Each structure stands twice: as C-alpha cells, then as structure tokens.
C-alpha cells in the first residue's frame, strides 16, 4: 500500500501516522507539505491530527484551504481513499468532504484519555481488519470533537449506515457516560456517501504498540494495507 | 470601507461557552440573566468604495471562510 500524509504547520500526529502506516504496509509513506500540489500516485491519503494553523478561526478551517487539500479533493473524486484523524476529520468537514461540523467539547475541556469505540460497519476498506460490532480501545486527544449535524443529516447517516464508529462503554453499550465530548448520537467517526472517505476523532495510530498501552488501533491500518495492496 | 462581520451560532446549536458565561454572571450576582450566546466579530478593511459591491464581496467571504454554515449565522455591516 502506497500512502501519503499531508503535513500542515501545526500537525503533530503526522509522525505517529507515518509509523503506523510503515508498520502495517512495510512501505514508507510520502510526507506531503501542505503547500505542495503535486502528490505521487498513492493508494491512500491521510490527513493527520494536530492543530493546523493553530486552529485559527475554526479548527480545520485554514487547513481545508491549503493547496495540498485541492489535490486531496481531486484524488478523492477519483476514488482514492482518504482517512482524516482528529484535526484531519475537522479539516475534511471544513473542506466539505464529510457532512457536519466538530464543535467545542460540551464540557469545554481538552480531553486526553482512552475511550472505547464500537465498529459500526466492518464492510469498508477502512474497517475490514475488524469484526462487525467489535469494541476497540483507543485514545482521544482533542478540544473540538463534539460532532454536530442537522437532524436530516443525522438521519441520513444512520439510514445509509455511514456512521463508522460510536463512543461506547467497555461492554459496547452506548451511554451518556461513554460520550466524552457531547457528540450527537455518540458519533466518533463517519464516512462519505461512497465510504471512501473516513473521518474520526480518536487516534488509532496511537494504539499500535504495547508501549502505547494497547494495540487495538492496529486493525485499521492492517485492514487498509490488506485491502489496498 | 470597513466591514464588520458578526458570526454567531445558529439557534438550536448548543453553545457551551455561552452557558458557562451565563453561569459565571449568575455567580457574580447579576440577576435576571437569560440565555447567553457567544460569537465572534471580524473587522475587514476594504478597498471597495461601492456599498452594494462591498456587501456582496463580504457575503462571499462569509460563505467561503468566515462562517461555517453548518453551525453558524453571520451578519454584515458596511461602514464608509
């Protein structure tokens, strides 16, 4: 699997993503600076976490206008899978590649902790490494992860099975206590219509080594590497 | 000309910052404080001299960048 990671001023999980993709695919990801519009042919593009442009105006608003994002949109239009994690998810919503918006956490605090996610659909290129309904433990680290969309959009996401991950408790049950940031319908990640774009707030790339405290994020990268090889 | 853009959260969108401010005002002893909503103000100097053209230009800026129409409304004021 050939991959590219977009690097913005203020990205800080780009190296973690590089490690995760290298570990899963055995191939070195291309690091693409946000000002570059030419990108090698790749099988996967990743928009990583961090605080691109210092979260100025709105988290992801400036990053969405980067020259590299024009290429990302163009490639995505041709069917190249795009993964956005944390700030990457915010950028993809601001760029109009995913519906809804990510607002300030309901508790107004930056949250950095392990959470449990339920894999809502194992039938996509991103989740083939997991079983349907599997519960995985991965970390979140964000200030603006509160997913918001209007009622029609939420209904559409649910009806079309476009919700990728939900925040749940260790037993896999949705509850208010398992929702760290106030996201509607406990949404942690969503797909676009064709399920070739995935945005999620939690960091699977930070759960790939026993030293991370868990390796349950590995399934995502190994699934991708297998599907896109 | 100078444009002043007020960006506010849409009605129905939860504003936890506004809620926290309202709560703090109550703690300070201010009586009768209803709902509090927080927004932002953006001031832009424009070379444009025509009022209508300036308004149209700033409206386009709001749609493309200054406001996120999923969650925010905007209001534009143009001063000479």
Q: Could you read off the pLDDT of B39-61 as tens digits, one per residue?
A: 999 999 999 999 999 999 999 99
- The answer, yes or no, to whether residue A50 has pLDDT greater than 90, is yes
Chain A residues touching residue B71 (CB < 8 angstroms): 101, 103, 148
- What residues are paired with B76 via a beta bridge? B5
- The answer, yes or no, to whether residue A204 has pLDDT greater than 90, is yes
Cβ–Cβ under 8 Å, residues A129 and A223: yes
Cβ–Cβ under 8 Å, residues A12 and A49: yes
| Domain CATH number, residue A87 | 3.40.50.880
- Alpha-carbon distance of A78 to A95, in angstroms, equals 16
Tens of pLDDT along A127-183? 999 999 999 999 999 999 999 999 999 999 999 999 999 999 999 999 889 999 999
Chain A residues touching residue B17 (CB < 8 angstroms): 104, 108
- At residue A122, the pLDDT reads 86
From residue B58, give the alpha-carbon distance in Å to each of A79, A108, B1, B71, B75.
Answer: 35, 31, 11, 19, 10
Provide the residue range defining the domain that includes B27.
2-79
- At residue A209, the pLDDT reads 96
Quick check: helix, strand or coil at residue A22? helix
| A182 in contact with chain B, both atoms CB, cutoff 8 A | yes
- At residue B31, the pLDDT reads 93
Listed residue (A192, A220, A193) closest to A204, CA to CA? A220
Stated pTM of the model: 0.95
Paired tokens of A51: 């605080």
Mutation pick from A110, A148, A149, A185 vs chain B, by most beta carbons of B within 10 Å, is A148
- The answer, yes or no, to whether residue A208 has pLDDT greater than 90, is yes
Listed residue (A59, A111, A67) closest to A90, CA to CA? A59
Mean pLDDT over each residue of chain A, to the nearest integer: 97
- The answer, yes or no, to whether residue B32 has pLDDT greater than 90, is yes
Among A94, A100, A104, beta carbon nearest to B16: A104
| Domain CATH number, residue B56 | 3.30.1280.10
Q: Number of residue pairs across A and B with CB atoms under 8 Å?
A: 33
Mean pLDDT over each residue of chain B, to the nearest integer: 95
* DSSP state, residue A212: G
Residues 6+ apart with CB under 8 A from A124: A164, A191, A195, A198
- The answer, yes or no, to whether residue A116 has pLDDT greater than 90, is yes
Tell me what ipTM this predicted complex has: 0.87
Cβ–Cβ under 8 Å, residues A31 and A18: yes
**What order do you get walking across the sheet with B2-9 strand by strand?**
B39-45, B2-9, B72-79
Domain count, chain A: 1
Provide the residue range defining the domain that includes A129.
3-228
Chain A residues touching residue B13 (CB < 8 angstroms): 103, 148
Q: Do A148 and B68 touch (CB under 8 A)?
A: no
């Amino acid at each position: 699997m050939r991959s590219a990671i977009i690097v913005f001023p203020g990205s800080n999980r780009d190296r973690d993503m590089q490690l995760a993709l290298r570990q899963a695919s055995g191939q070195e990801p291309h690091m693409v600076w946000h000002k570059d519009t030419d990108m090698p042919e790749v099988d996967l593009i990743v928009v990583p976490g961090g605080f691109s442009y210092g979260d100025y105006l709105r988290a992801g608003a400036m990053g969405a206008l980067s020259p590299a994002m024009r290429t990302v949109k163009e490639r995505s239009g041709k069917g190249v899978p795009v993964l956005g994690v944390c700030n990457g998810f915010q950028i993809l919503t601001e760029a109009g590649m995913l519906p809804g918006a990510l607002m300030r956490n309901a508790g107004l605090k930056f949250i950095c902790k392990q959470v449990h996610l339920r894999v809502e659909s194992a039938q996509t290129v991103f989740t083939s490494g997991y079983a349907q309904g599997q519960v995985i433990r991965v970390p979140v680290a964000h200030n603006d992860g509160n997913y918001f969309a209007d009622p029609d959009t939420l209904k559409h996401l649910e009806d079309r099975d476009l919700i990728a991950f939900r925040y749940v408790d260790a037993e896999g049950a949705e509850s208010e206590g398992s929702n760290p940031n106030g996201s509607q319908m406990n949404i942690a990640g969503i797909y676009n219509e064709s399920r070739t774009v995935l945005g999620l707030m939690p960091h699977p790339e930070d759960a790939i080594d026993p030293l991370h405290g868990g390796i349950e994020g590995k399934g995502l990268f190994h699934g991708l590497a297998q599907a896109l090889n | 000309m100078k444009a002043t853009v007020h960006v506010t959260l849409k009605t129905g969108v939860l504003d936890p910052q506004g809620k926290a401010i309202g709560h703090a005002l109550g703690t300070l002893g201010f009586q009768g404080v209803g709902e509090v909503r927080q927004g932002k103000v953006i001031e832009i100097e424009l070379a444009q001299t025509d009022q209508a053209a300036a308004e149209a230009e700033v409206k386009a800026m709001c749609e493309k960048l200054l406001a996120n129409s999923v969650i925010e409304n905007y209001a534009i004021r143009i001063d000479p």
